[in-house]
Chain A
């Protein structure tokens, strides 16, 4: 018996060579969790932070009070964007392996946390994404060629060659610029939402961050400000189980869930099956309604699994079992929505295959076009002298001199 305190370091249930074990993921049956009114008092609905809102059951039916009863067209559109996202990710990974782009980050297995949540919001709502929610851009109609040009840092790169691949933005589609530094966008989203209140508008801000990044103080700032000012914001914590090599318990500690962090701030926290398209849609819609009624922010924990590597610089076989994904209890978001649509009699394997082919063709065509605007190594190239633009509104004298100096170096 050791009575002395010892440093406790959280351990994942399984490392390479060990049997995957997701018994720590608390599940609720589909349809079991009641849906309160969006106007409910946060204190009366605290159980939502530890239960798991699920709509789709194992028989692919949509059940319970959270079932948003979406029209088949809406479900098919969600499926299309998720498939497009996955095909895009696969092709861009290949492009990185071929040396055409320098870096990439896939969202495989967690497409619904972007697509279902994004679809439940209004196009006027402002989104503050992390680097793994690319479905949002496709959903909002940012051109695939534009996304690819960013990856290529070419002459049509929205970031003008200044940012790592995947750090997209779109002011026109209300998608904020991705930082590369973690969780900084979360309190910024709350600030945007406060601005919406100040201006008397109904647009809200939604933001995404990982469960690992939620350890950053920025997330604490976000919840304090969101609570104090009742900011119309949705704070999505995407719990995909892994932050590079550290598992979710490293940031989660002894807390019952990430959603439960909200409770201490007096905010509602909802834990939802992040691979269940209708459930994510419904929970987001609930939070949006609450925000638009002036009742403030909601923290949503989306429980999913990072099926891909952290990035193309990462090798997950070094820190987690290779076959872990196969044991993930919440399945795959595309597969589940597809089967749901089939069960409704609104979809078929043939149609699905046709959709995949159509998406592949779209991605291939887009890639060819994007490459025609230049790649990192070939074709037209951005003018390096543009690197001095946009540091300030008007270029100060010392930067003018440095630009001249570079022009001489290049001559």
Chain B
């Protein structure tokens, strides 16, 4: 075991994968000699050589397309998109190609590509370095979507993703790279040093896709979250002193409906939280599923806590970000759904 932040854990996952499997290759802008702008690929080129770890031209469509070709040729590419906000030139390659190659070839061709990308705000990134596009990928049939919330899961999920056999969009909340962030930008930054999930095995292990984790057990209300919002939810619940159950989805697609449904049937109340915009976001899918499966157990309408339906504005980052206050308002609404009190 070792103490790792999320960058080191992701780096360690790639070391583990590449050590074990010569078909794993790593590619992306600045990932080779430089080791990546967030340093996730540091040391990989030196260790595994530049046929397996290499810089690419600035062409995200080209990066994903080339990764598809390599995967069709038997390799297991891990492609880095420097920021999730830069992925859109590759969107056609992901939606029309990567996601459907198995389907359209009747299973004769597959492209097990993992596309890694840092996502989310809270780093003064403005509208082009802050987005959380998970719903855009979750809506596409044929790709899996993963978003870890801590170093331990990040490594275990990345190893599972590369072994998955299906293409995986692997989203890394960059505000969590160096420490768990509870949504309060005024508090001093916390590192992963003392966090239980900053303890990461040096070697090989897996966190399976499609398995959520109950990060806090409780009976009063269920909070369904993933990525940065897991930590915000834990802090909000602690601040309120309520007996809430907090679920970290870890995988967005496949979705662990079973864990969610079991929890909401138990608590009868639910808040769904994500950093991405609200309209047609993942919260809508979660709310619909919970309503279908748990309707007769629900004591109150499900609440969504999200970023606003605007681009991510640089100067109003913390007004945009769904922090503890927004969560507490929503939790109060589901705990006491009297319209007079909470109008």
Chain A interface residues (CB < 8 Å from chain B) = 6-7, 9, 15, 102-103, 153, 157, 159-164, 167, 179-183, 212-213, 215-218, 243-246, 250-251, 313, 318-319, 376, 381-382, 384, 387-388, 391, 398-399, 402, 405-406, 408-410
Contacts and interface: CB of A to CB of B under 8 A. Distances in A.
B50 A245 contact: no
A180 B312 CA distance: 13
Interface in B54-93: 54-62, 85-86, 88-89
B57 A153 contact: no
Contacts of B55: 9, 245-246, 250
B129 interface: yes
B329 A164 contact: no
Residue in B30, B54, B61 whose Cβ sees the most chain A Cβ within 10 Å: B30
Given A161-B315, A164-B314, A402 B278 contact: yes
Contact of B61 (A102, A217, A246, A408): A217
A157 B309 CA distance: 22
B59 to A, nearest CB: 4
Contacts of B56: 250
A408 B56 CA distance: 47
Contacts of A163: 126-127, 314
Contact of A402 (B62, B129, B308, B329): B308
B105 interface: no
Given A103-B124, A217-B89, A153 B34 contact: no
Given A319-B33, A402-B308, A164 B129 contact: yes
User: Interface of chain B, helix or strand or loop or mixed?
Assistant: loop
Contacts of B326: 405, 409
A181 B88 contact: yes
Contact of B29 (A167, A246, A384, A388): A246
A15 B35 CA distance: 14
B288 to A, nearest CB: 17
A6 B49 CA distance: 12
Contacts, number: 130
A153 B37 contact: no
Contact of A182 (B51, B58, B309, B319): B58
A212 B310 CA distance: 30
B315 A391 contact: no
Nearest to B311: A162
A378 to B, nearest CB: 13
B320 interface: yes
- Which interface class (under 10, 10 to 19, 20 to 34, 35 or more) fits B? 35 or more
A319 B34 contact: yes
B319 A180 contact: no
Contact of B128 (A181, A384, A409): A181
Contacts of B51: 6-7, 9
Contact of B313 (A243, A387, A405): A387
Given A161-B316, A164-B129, A215 B59 contact: yes
Nearest to B328: A409
Contacts of A217: 59, 61-62, 89
Given A9-B54, A180-B126, A180-B129, A406 B32 contact: no
Given A161-B314, A213-B58, A244 B30 contact: yes
A51 B326 CA distance: 61
B325 interface: yes
B327 to A, nearest CB: 11
Contacts of B320: 387
Contact of B89 (A216, A384, A399, A410): A216
A161 B315 CA distance: 5
B103 interface: no
The 5 closest A-B pairs by CB, nearest first: A161-B315, A180-B128, A215-B57, A245-B34, A153-B315
A160 B85 CA distance: 21
Interface of B: 29-30, 32-34, 37, 50-51, 54-62, 85-86, 88-89, 124-129, 278-279, 308-311, 313-316, 319-320, 325-326, 329
A409 B325 contact: yes
Contacts of A381: 315
B32 A9 contact: yes
Contact of B316 (A9, A218, A319, A387): A387
A7 B59 contact: no
Contact of A406 (B127, B128, B319): B319
A103, A179, A215, A382, most chain B CB atoms within 10 A: A215
Contact of A162 (B32, B60, B85, B127): B127
A162 B315 contact: yes
Nearest to B315: A161
Nearest to A182: B58
Contacts of B34: 244-246, 318-319
Nearest to B56: A250
A399 B50 contact: no
A316 to B, nearest CB: 10
Nearest to A374: B315
A159 B314 CA distance: 10
Interface centre among B34, B60, B126, B319 (most CB of A within 10 A): B126
B117 to A, nearest CB: 14
Given A164-B125, A376-B315, A387-B316, A15 B33 contact: yes
B309 A402 contact: yes
Nearest to B54: A9
A7 B50 contact: yes
A338 B155 CA distance: 56
B49 to A, nearest CB: 9
B85 to A, nearest CB: 7
Contact of A409 (B33, B57, B62, B329): B329
A105 to B, nearest CB: 13
B314 A406 contact: no
Contacts of B128: 164, 179-181
Contact of B310 (A382, A387, A409): A387
